[in-house]
Amino acid sequence: MEHFKELFQEIDVNNDGMISLSELKVGLKLSSLEEAEEVFAMIDDNDDRRISYDEFLAFMSDPSAEFFIHYTAPSQSEEIDPDE
CATH of the domain at 14: 1.10.238.10
- By percentage, how much of the chain surpasses pLDDT 70? 77
Q: Please report whether residue 83 resides in a domain.
A: no
Q: Residue 13 contacts by C-beta under 8 Å, 6 or more apart in sequence?
A: 23, 26, 27
Give the total number of structural domains in the chain: 1
pLDDT given at position 69: 58
Q: H or E segment at 42?
A: helix 33-43
Residue 56 contacts residue 19 (beta carbons within 8 Å): yes
pLDDT given at position 72: 53
How confident is the prediction for the chain on average, in pLDDT? 82
Query: Is it the case that residue 80 has pLDDT exceeding 70?
Result: no
CA dihedral 18, 22, 24, 26 (to 10 degrees): -130
- Average pLDDT, integer, range 72-76: 44
Q: Please report whether residue 80 resides in a domain.
A: no
pLDDT given at position 71: 56
Q: Please report whether residue 50 resides in a domain.
A: yes
Structural domain boundaries enclosing 8? 2-73
